[in-house]
Amino acid sequence: FSRARAMPELPEVERARRLIHDHAVGHVITGVHRPTPLDDKVFVNVPEGAFERALLHKTLRESHRHGKQLWWTLADDDKKGGIKKEESGEDAPSTSSANIPMFHLGMTGAFVARGVEGLQYYNSKASGMGDWPPRFTKLVVTFANGAELAYVDPRRFGKIKLVPELKDVIGGLGPDPYHDMPNAEDFVKLFAKRSIAIKSALMDQKLIAGIGNWMADEILYRARVHPECRSNELSVTQFAAIREQVEYVVRVACEANSDHDLFPNDWLFHVRWGKTEGAKVNGDAIKFIEVGGRTTAYVPKLQLKTDGGPPAIAESTKTSPTKKRQAAAANLTSEQPTSVGRRKAPIKASTQTPRARLPRAAAIAAASALAR
């Protein structure tokens, strides 16, 4: 078995999606079985028999993933084996009768295919993974081609749902950095106005989907950014480094198919577990703190709380001299009266030199002389 230390994040869920795609996509579901009574902690708002009715005799068209969310596209299958009606893809019609199977792997959830090497977590209590179905199996789905998939979850923090609308689950999620990485400008826009620690911002699924605890630590270590730095105080240069490392860490982890033993040897990942005293990465000491309630590993020597330059938000809101002059002119115009009944503009001191005035008697005499 491949080994995984952490709870499922984007790479682990992508591995599950690929497993399902490789062994079951394109085949009719011939059986849906639960080895144990319905676990309502895992099956959320799914009545007895509902999941079976939603899947049985349907064709699995595709397995999809966005962030940590996994779902299946199902379609009705006619007697000739053709597709009559797609029921749950992203392009399917919006209908309240659609039942889209959604999976969230929680802390220790995983999909296993019978006879195929699976993913086992180091901190999992699962044993006998060679037996079928494996211990702690919550769901077994069989297919016309003979493939069998089991959803296994020892700690039962995963969730299985049937949802009528895909947007109900993924509509509020940020972009997926594996297949929809934001460009540099959009990446800054996602984070630059958030006044929270950058690690917490990276783990906010509404900003960017799929990054969890270990990935955030790895990204910030490689970007040389302290995890407690506030997101709205980071510079454009720091955001560029973070974006580069998000892209790198996600890509490499997925290329390794989430087998943690295949991750690069210089990654913080390999030595961040257990808060080991004296732990080092590449010769540098690791310190453990809490950020947003999550255990956080970082390297004080490299990840300093120093000024990285003007905050990106300040850079993006700077006003050019031309715009300042235009704004001043507009403000001046707005002070002038525009209609009867509106408040008059303030009286301004004249800049002209006032004409000298003659005494009243002298003025009268001068007027009389002119009259003659």
Query: Residues with catalytic annotation?
Result: 8-9, 68
Cβ-contact 253, 214 below 8 angstroms: no
The SS3 of residue 371 is helix
DSSP letters spanning 300-352: TTTS-----SSBHHHHHT---HHHHHHHHHHHHHHTS--STTSPPPPP----S
* Angstrom distance (rounded) from CA 138 to CA 43: 9
In whole angstroms, what is the distance from residue 19 CA to residue 120 CA?
14
CA distance 340 to 98: 63
Q: In the structure encoding, which two tokens stand for residue 217, read together?
A: 């630590």
Residue 338, both tokens = 């525009």
d(CA 187, CA 241): 11
